[in-house]
Amino acid sequence: MSRRILITGGAGFIGSHLSERLIAMGNEVLCVDNYFTGRRENIAGLFGNPRFETLRHDITFPLYVEVDAIFNLACPASPIHYQFDPVQTTKTSVMGAINMLGLAKRLKVPIVQASTSEVYGDPQQHPQQESYWGNVNPIGPRACYDEGKRCAETLFFDYRRQHGMDAKVVRIFNTYGPRMLENDGRVVSNFIVQALKGEPITVFGDGSQTRSFCYVDDLVEGLIKMLDTPPEVSGPINLGNPGEFTIRQLAEKIIAMTGSKAKVEYRNLPEDDPKMRKPDITKAQNVLGWGPTIALDKGLEPTIAYFRKRLAQ
C-alpha cells in the first residue's frame, strides 16, 4: 500500500537515502528541509519524480500538510554544525518535536523520532542498552544536541501517554556513507577527506576511544522497519552496528584503503567527548528483526569513492 510520508531533514545525509528507499518501495515522499546542513544535490536524483515533493521549511515553525506517516530527522547532527548555533539546535530538537507531534496528533498518523546515541552521553555502561539513562553534562558544549534530543524523547513518550499516539523513538549510532558533508567534523568523513588530500589525519586523544559504525543503507532499513511496527511498539530502540573499532584502527584502515601517505597527528580530546560507543542491538533484533549486514570495509568503499569524486570537482 502506497503512503505519503513526510521526512523532516529529508535533504540531509540520512534523509536523502531514506527518501530514495521509500520511493523505490512505491511510496510518495514529502521532503521538508531548511537546508542548514541538507543539500539540494543530495535529492537531485529525485527531482522530476512524480512521487517526490520538496518543501523549504524550518520545523521550529508549525507545518500544515496532509500525510500518512512522519519521520522526524531534522537537526544538525555533527558537533561542528550543532555547536555553530546551539540555541537553534535546541529549538530544532524541542520545538520541532512539538510541531511534528502536533501534526501527527491532528492527522492520527505514526511518527518516528530520530534520536541519537548521544542521549547516553559519556557512558558508564558498555555496550549501551536502551534501559540505560545516560551520563550527560547538561551545561556542556554538546548539551544543546544531547539534551535537546533527550527532551524530544520525553515529549514523544508524554504525547504517547497523554494522547494515545503512535509515537516511536529510535536511537541512531554513528552512521556513515555517501552524502556525508566533507566539513562536518565527523570522524569517518574527516579521515577520508584528510587521507585523500594527503593532509595529517587528526586523531583526538590517544586514539584508543571506540566507535561503532553503521552503513547508511542498513540504518535506513531499520528506520522503515520501525515505522511498520504495531502502535504498541514505542522504543526507544538502538539502531547501529555493534562492530567496535578504536579511532586509531579506523585511521589506519582509511589510510590503507585510500592508498594515502598521510601521517596521524594526535590532538587534545574535546570536552565531554565519549570514550566508548557501542550499541546493544538485542531489542532491534527481537522487535524489528533487524541487524546490520554491511561490514565497515564494505561500506567504506562507496564512501571513499563518493569523497574522491567530490574532491575532484
Name the residues annotated as catalytic. Answer: 145
Kindly state the cell numbers that stand for 141: 558544549
**Residue 22 in 3-state DSSP?**
helix
Kindly state the cell numbers that stand for 180: 556525508
Cβ-proximal residues to 155 (8 Å cutoff; 6+ apart), any chain: 94, 97, 98, 101
Q: Is the separation of the CB atoms in 15 and 3 below 8 Å? A: no
Question: 278-298 burial, b if ≥16 CB within 10 A, otherwise e?
Answer: bbbbebbeeebebebebebee
Kindly state the cell numbers that stand for 71: 519521520
Alpha helices in 235-295 (DSSP H): 247-258, 282-283
Cβ-proximal residues to 175 (8 Å cutoff; 6+ apart), any chain: 13, 14, 213, 214, 215, 216, 219, 240
Residue type, 234: S
Q: Is the separation of the CB atoms in 119 and 146 below 8 Å? A: yes
- Considering only the C-alpha atoms of the chain, give the largest distance between any 2 of them, rounded to a whole number of Å: 58
Residue corresponding to grid cell 550543532:
82
Closest to 257 measured CA to CA, from 204, 203, 192: 192
Cβ-proximal residues to 53 (8 Å cutoff; 6+ apart), any chain: 28, 29, 30, 31
